[in-house]
């Protein structure tokens, strides 16, 4: 009964920092801006991007946590994705001034709230959606004028397999990722003719510290009827911390390969969405299979609601 979280706080050894004299340096150098770089996928992106010979603007709400990344060659910028649109627009101007342009935006920042629908109050729902959904939308909006002007750019959205399957006690998190799915689909339809490419990545369970006791936000249990369920989910999540099968650095390398069209992704183009991890593949496949079965079972009744001929 563990929710389908898929990100942050890497525990794996970092790859070597990029050496500009290395024979493996890339011919095409991109400038990346990544949100939420203080840990997890964000931190992994920094090390892997530098190792590829690209440039990166690493951002976080608390930039003091990025000192080591700056020492390794990343440009550091304070960015709170929950800031006002005006503040985000100003921050993006500062980001663009660093290298003169940005080629790739990775919307990675986010967090997880646990609690049942009845026990989690309105402000906690707003905070979860305000970060994972609206914060991501607002950051993307801030960079869109630049991408439209140069008629190119790639936007990577870090979703989750949780967006494909509602889990008990994780409705706020799952709904934030499910909503992001539709936002990205709409965004892709709006920008496909503008030279801007995008994808949403659906990670499964990756070995991060997000499920540790210090990194899970949960509401107090108010009603006895939910206690057994809540204790099982929250306790199970914390107990699973450090046991996840997914390797965050392998996930990041796949994403970079896709954006740069290198390695196994060479010549394959950029998919609209991409599950990462065998568990994510299984969750998404089951969802599709279940929906197809539902359509088959209920098609006759579902399709019987139109006006009759001649009326």
Predicted confidence (pLDDT) per residue in 1-57, tens digit = 334 333 333 333 444 443 433 333 345 899 999 999 988 899 999 999 999 999 999
Is 104 or 219 the better-scoring residue by pLDDT? 104
pLDDT at residue 27, as a whole number: 55
CA angle 87, 88, 91 (to 5 degrees): 90
Q: Look at residues 161, 150, 160 and name the one whose alpha carbon lies nearest to residue 104.
A: 150
Cα(231)–Cα(211) distance, rounded to whole angstroms?
14
Q: Are 133 and 75 in contact (CB under 8 A)?
A: no
**What are the φ and ψ backbone dihedral angles of 203, each rounded to 5 degrees?**
-70, 150
- Residue 44 vs residues 148, 157, 201, 256, 268: alpha-carbon distances, Å: 28, 15, 15, 11, 24
Tens of pLDDT along 171-203? 999 999 999 999 999 999 999 999 999 999 999
The helix/strand/coil state of 230 is helix
Average pLDDT, integer, range 224-232:
94
Q: Which residues pair with 113 in a beta bridge?
A: 217
- Domain regions of the chain by residue span: 31-299
Q: Is the pLDDT of residue 151 over 90?
A: yes
What's the CATH architecture for 31-299? 3-Layer(aba) Sandwich (3.40)
């Amino acid at each position: 009964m563990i929710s389908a979280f898929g990100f942050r706080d890497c525990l794996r050894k970092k790859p070597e920092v990029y050496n500009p004299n290395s024979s493996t340096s890339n011919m095409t150098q991109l400038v990346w801006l990544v949100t939420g770089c203080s840990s997890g996928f964000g931190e992994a992106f920094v090390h892997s991007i530098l190792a590829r010979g690209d440039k990166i603007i690493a951002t976080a709400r608390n930039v003091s946590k990025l000192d080591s990344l700056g020492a390794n060659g990343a440009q550091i910028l304070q960015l709170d994705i929950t800031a006002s649109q005006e503040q985000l627009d100003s921050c993006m101007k500062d980001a663009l001034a660093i290298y003169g342009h940005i080629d790739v935006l990775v919307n990675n920042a986010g967090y997880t709230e646990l609690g049942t629908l009845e026990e989690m109050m309105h402000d906690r729902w707003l905070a979860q959606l305000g970060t994972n959904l609206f914060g991501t939308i607002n950051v993307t909006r801030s960079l869109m004028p630049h991408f439209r002007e140069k008629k190119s750019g790639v936007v990577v959205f870090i979703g989750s397999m949780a967006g494909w399957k509602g889990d008990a006690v994780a409705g706020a998190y799952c709904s934030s990722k499910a909503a992001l799915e539709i936002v990205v689909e709409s965004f892709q339809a709006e920008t496909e003719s503008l030279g801007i490419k995008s994808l949403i990545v659906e990670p499964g369970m990756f070995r991060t510290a997000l499920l540790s006791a210090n990194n899970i936000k949960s509401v107090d249990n108010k009603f006895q009827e939910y206690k057994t369920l809540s204790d099982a989910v929250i306790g199970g999540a914390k107990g699973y911390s450090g046991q996840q099968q997914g390797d965050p650095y392998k996930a990041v390398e796949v994403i970079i390969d896709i954006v740069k069209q290198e390695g196994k992704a060479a010549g394959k183009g950029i998919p609209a969405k991409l599950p990462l991890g065998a568990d994510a593949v299984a969750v998404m496949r089951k969802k599709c299979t279940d929906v197809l079965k539902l359509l088959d079972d209920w098609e006759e009744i579902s399709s019987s609601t139109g006006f009759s001929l001649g009326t």
